[in-house]
Amino acid sequence: MAEIEKQTEQPYGESEDRFALLSVAAPVCALIITTGALYLGRSVLFPLTIALILSVVFSPVATRLERYFGRLISAALVVLLVIGAIAAIGYFLTIELTNVADQVSGYSDNIGNKLAALEKNTPPWFQHIKDAVSDVQRRMASTNPAPRQPPREVMAIPVPTSLSDSLRPVVPIVDGMLKTLLIIMLLFFLLYSRKDLRDRFVRLAARGRIPIAAQAIETAGYTVGRYLLLFSLINLAYGIAAGTVAWFLGLPSAPLWGLLAFLLRFIPYVGAISSALLPALVAFALFPGWSKTLEILGAFVIIDQAAAQFAEPFIIGRGIDVSPVALLISAMYWYWLWGIPGLLLSTPLTACLKVAGDFIPPLGFLSILLGADRALDDYHDFYRLLLELNPSGAREVAIRYCDENGLERTFDDVIAPALVLMGDERADGHISDENQRLIIDTTHQLIAELGNRFIKSRIAPSVRVLGVLAPGELHFLGLLMLLELLRKEGVVATFTGENKSPDEICDLVKRFTPDFVFISCVTADCLPATLELVAALRSISSRVTIVAGGEAALHQSTELINAGCSQICANPNEARRAVRRFILQRAKSRLPFGVLLPRRYARAALSATEKAK
């Protein structure tokens, strides 16, 4: 009944406020420090990152091969497969791009004619802007003429070249070869020692007080590997379709455009456009007119949208729930750090970071930052407005939802989930005591206000319900919502109030003479006092029906039943069904034998039976 509330009443101290501020600033500081480390150590971290991503992608393949060939040979086979694929792609791209460049150079006349035609067809307003810019440049040049210097005769003196100048063109080639060799070796050892590395990672996390289960690591690795594998297969299909279209339209080197489409589509959003622009430029140079260029652009865009809108949702499903905006910002971030290679790796890196945030609690902020945009439930707006210290806005959200969906759905869909979210964030120290108090006070007033918006028809004879908090219990909002729902059904429901002693509660029961006493017991510390209260109430009246609810009451249901409780309810609906059954039984007992129930009670009995099922 009150298990939806998790609020605590311990106030924040000054040290706790400072700790909360540090907990907010810590992710920002960590991001700044990590960015600096990634930028300064890019020469070492870049090969390591590539090897890690490749090991995540090919770990399932190595695991399957290990059953037949053993761990050493399976890791070596995967590495050889990767080397062969990369070498073949590099060789093919070099040869085909050279051929395309030679072909395009032979059509310089066609390119010149098209550019001249474009210049002739330039709109007048654009030509006026161009002339105006040229005029401004001329005036600035005439105002500030460059100083003229007399020409000097320069004698060419042969300068002896040093060894470093001679080797300078070779350094990038050697550096690339060393990085490639380093990636190959790292990939082999990561595949060969993947289980040992996982155990070491868990032990390091345990020493850092970071709770990570081995099953979580396996799940994270499987999730990322599956996502990247399926995404690569979709990109491969996109590349094959793009190459087929290029061949059908008569574009030379169709396999080249398919391969580039496959590779460039790993770059989020701009990759597919880039893969269409390159063959479109070649078509512009080779073919007369504009039809082939427009056909290629349109075909590539249609294929990309078919892959994004139909193939990816069907094959990958929800994937890892990465936000499109976060993916785009991540691409810009990694491009700024590592250039074009970082841009190609942005999607796999974002996927890895998102899954790490899902499974590693200290990195949970990554899951929030990179998580997919999802349709927020109504309680998110209600809760957000309360955190923004806007209780009037939160009240409008709840009232509008209540008018459209009714009181019960408002409690179930807006109020209760917001209280659960508040309890979770308060337990984690993410909201202050002031935020918590505002949420509780606003919700307390709102529950009564929402209940008063409905006309309550009284049951004759009336059923009287008394809502009681266990001595020392602080969770009362769930009990208030239950009482409002009972009032809406015609029950005379009364709340005794907060901080009542057992003697005061017993005195209220004597004066109110209720048919039901609902006791909310959520906190385990209140259970002994609850047992004493139940025994005292039972000694006052043996006819009153005592119903207990709450997390602590559910855990100690046997003791409460032995003390005198008639029923332990797990949720408000069970309590409401108990009241309906009581109404039906009392109506039957007061009718003469053989007289049918009035239609009103028959409908109530039917409704209670259906809800009980």
Query: What pLDDT sits at residue 8?
Result: 39
Over the range 314-323, which residues count as b (16 or more CB within 10 Å of their CB) and which as e? eebeebbebb
Question: Which amino acid belongs to residue 525?
Answer: D
Between vectors from CA 449 to CA 443 and to CA 455, what angle results, nearest 5°?
Answer: 140
Tokens of 9: 């009443």
Q: What is the pLDDT of residues 433-482, one digit of tens each?
A: 777 888 888 888 888 888 887 766 666 567 888 888 888 777 788 888 88
Q: What is the pLDDT of residues 489-523, one digit of tens each?
A: 888 888 888 888 888 888 888 888 888 888 888 88
Tokens of 458: 């009284």
pLDDT band at residue 122 under the 50/70/90 scheme: low
Of 96-110, 119-133, 223-237, the least confident:
119-133
pLDDT band at residue 6 under the 50/70/90 scheme: very low
Inter-axis angle of helices 391-405 and 378-387, nearest 10: 160
- Cα 236 from Cα 258, distance rounded (Å): 9
From residue 65, alpha-carbon distances to 75, 77, 78, 84, 191 in Å are: 8, 9, 9, 18, 12
Contacts of 334 (CB under 8 A, 6+ apart): 342, 343, 345, 346, 349
Average pLDDT over residues 85-108: 78
- Of 120-134, 355-369, 565-579, the range with the highest mean pLDDT is 565-579
Query: What pLDDT sits at residue 533?
Result: 85
User: Would you call 556 helix, strand, or coil by DSSP?
Assistant: coil
Annotate 494-542 with DSSP letters as a single string.
EE--SS--HHHHHHHHHHH--SEEEEE--SGGGHHHHHHHHHHHHHH-S
Q: What is the pLDDT of residues 165-207, one digit of tens each?
A: 656 666 667 777 777 788 888 888 888 887 777 667 666 666 6
Domains 375-454 and 456-612 share a fold: no
Query: What pLDDT sits at residue 209?
Result: 56
From residue 595, alpha-carbon distances to 583, 588, 589, 599 in Å are: 17, 9, 11, 12
Tokens of 252: 């030379």
- Of 122-131, 363-372, 502-511, the range with the highest mean pLDDT is 502-511
Query: For 437, phi and psi rounded to 5 degrees?
Result: -65, -40
Q: What is the pLDDT of residues 280-315, one digit of tens each?
A: 888 877 777 778 888 888 888 888 888 877 777 777
Tokens of 63: 């695991």
Q: What is the pLDDT of residues 580-610, one digit of tens each?
A: 888 777 766 655 544 444 444 445 544 544 4
Of 3-12, 340-349, 594-603, the least confident:
3-12
Is the confidence at residue 375, as pLDDT, over 60? no
Whether the Cβ atoms of residue 11 and residue 147 lie closer than 8 Å to each other: no
Sequence spans of domains, the chain: 43-107+174-192, 219-373, 375-454, 456-612
pLDDT band at residue 3 under the 50/70/90 scheme: very low
Whether the Cβ atoms of residue 75 and residue 62 lie closer than 8 Å to each other: yes
Looking at 3.90.960.10, 3.40.640.10, 3.40.50.460, 3.40.50.280, the CATH number of the domain 456-612 comes to 3.40.50.280
Cβ–Cβ contacts within 10 Å for residue 485, how many? 21
Average pLDDT over residues 415-444: 81
Mean pLDDT of the chain: 75
Average pLDDT over residues 555-581: 84
pLDDT band at residue 150 under the 50/70/90 scheme: low
Determine the longest span between alpha carbons in the chain, in angstroms: 131
Query: What pLDDT sits at residue 608?
Result: 46
Q: What is the pLDDT of residues 35-44, one digit of tens each?
A: 888 888 877 7
Is the confidence at residue 359, as pLDDT, over 80? no
Is the confidence at residue 550, as pLDDT, over 50? yes
Cβ–Cβ contacts within 10 Å for residue 159, how many? 7
Query: What pLDDT sits at residue 235?
Result: 87
Query: What pLDDT sits at residue 129?
Result: 62
Is the confidence at residue 527, as pLDDT, over 60? yes
From residue 357, alpha-carbon distances to 224, 370, 431 in Å are: 12, 9, 20
- Of 161-175, 319-333, 396-410, the range with the highest mean pLDDT is 396-410
pLDDT band at residue 541 under the 50/70/90 scheme: confident
- Cα 4 from Cα 480, distance rounded (Å): 12
Of 28-32, 120-124, 521-525, the least confident:
120-124
| Strands (E) located in 137-296 | none
Percent of the chain clearing pLDDT 70 (strictly above): 71
Percent of the chain clearing pLDDT 90 (strictly above): 0
Contacts of 509 (CB under 8 A, 6+ apart): 466, 517, 537, 540, 541, 544
Whether the Cβ atoms of residue 568 and residue 553 lie closer than 8 Å to each other: yes
- Cα 287 from Cα 366, distance rounded (Å): 49
Whether the Cβ atoms of residue 110 and residue 288 lie closer than 8 Å to each other: yes
Query: What pLDDT sits at residue 606?
Result: 47
Average pLDDT over residues 77-93: 85
> Tokens 């997919």 — which residue?
372
Contacts of 579 (CB under 8 A, 6+ apart): 463, 465, 486, 489, 491, 516
pLDDT band at residue 9 under the 50/70/90 scheme: very low
Is the confidence at residue 613, as pLDDT, over 50? no
Query: What pLDDT sits at residue 596?
Result: 44
The CATH H-level superfamily of 375-454 is Methionine synthase domain (1.10.1240.10)
